[in-house]
Chain A
Amino acid sequence: NAGVTQTPKFRVLKTGQSMTLLCAQDMNHEYMYWYRQDPGMGLRLIHYSVGEGTTAKGEVPDGYNVSRLKKQNFLLGLESAAPSQTSVYFCASNPSGGAAEQYFGPGTRLTVT
C-alpha cells in the first residue's frame, strides 16, 4: 500500500494564480483532512471530509476550497493565491474520525510570491 500520497511535492505560484493540490489514499478511509503547517504554529485544519461527497470547514478555511468526488481522493484548491498561503500542506486520513490515529502524507511545500 502506498498509504497517503500528495501531488505535487513543491510548487511556486505568483499572487493571484490558482492551483489544486491532490491527495490520494489507498486505505479505504472515510475521513480525510487538509492541514497547513507554519513555523511555531503546529498544524491547523483547513477543511475535512467525513465521506465521499462531503466537506466541512476546519479552523482556517478562508481562501481554500475542497472537493471529495471519489472516496480515495481529496482535492484542495486555491482560487487566487496570496503570500499568506505560503506554507507546507499536509493531507491525512483515518477510518473513524477525530479520536483516532491520522495517517499523513509527505506534504506539499507551496510558495506564493
Chain B
Amino acid sequence: GENVEQHPSTLSVQEGDSAVIKCTYSDSASNYFPWYKQELGKGPQLIIDIRSNVGEKKDQRIAVTLNKTAKHFSLHITETQPEDSAVYFCAVYNAGNMLTFGGGTRLMVKP
C-alpha cells in the first residue's frame, strides 16, 4: 500500500518567518494531495490541495508544491502568525476511496 512520510514532526518558527513541511510518498499513481490543519481539540480541516496535473498552487499565505518525479510535495506558509500554530497533516490519494495520511507536524509560531 501507499506509504507517506512527513517531516519534520515538530517545527518552531518566529512570527513572520516562513514554515515548510515536506511529505514523500511511494505510489507513483497517486494523484491528489491535500493538506489538513488540526487545531487543538478539533477535527482536521482542509486548507489546500493539489492534483497531479499541477506543479504549484497558492492561496494567500499558503502554497503547495508538487514534484511528481521525486514523489514529494511541500506546504509553504509565509509570514506566519500565532493562529497558524496547529498540527498539519499531508495526505495522498491514489485509488480505492482511501486517503493515506502522514504522521503530522506540530507547528509552533512564537510571537
| Count of chain B residues near A, Cβ 8 A | 28
**B99–A98 touching, CB < 8 Å:** yes
With A98-B98, A98-B99, A99-B93 already in contact, the answer to whether A42 and B43 are too (CB < 8 A) is no
- B2's nearest neighbour on chain A, judged by CB, is A59
- A43's nearest neighbour on chain B, judged by CB, is B101
Interface residues of A in 34-59 (CB under 8 A from B): 40-45, 48, 50, 56, 58-59
**B66 shortest CB reach to chain A, Å:** 14
Specify which of B34, B49, B97, B103 is in contact with A42 (CB 8 Å cutoff): B103
| Count of chain A residues near B, Cβ 8 A | 25
With A31-B97, A40-B103 already in contact, the answer to whether A101 and B9 are too (CB < 8 A) is no
Given contacts A59-B100, A98-B99, 7 further A-B contacts (CB under 8 A): A42-B6, A59-B98, A98-B95, A99-B32, A101-B46, A102-B46, A107-B42
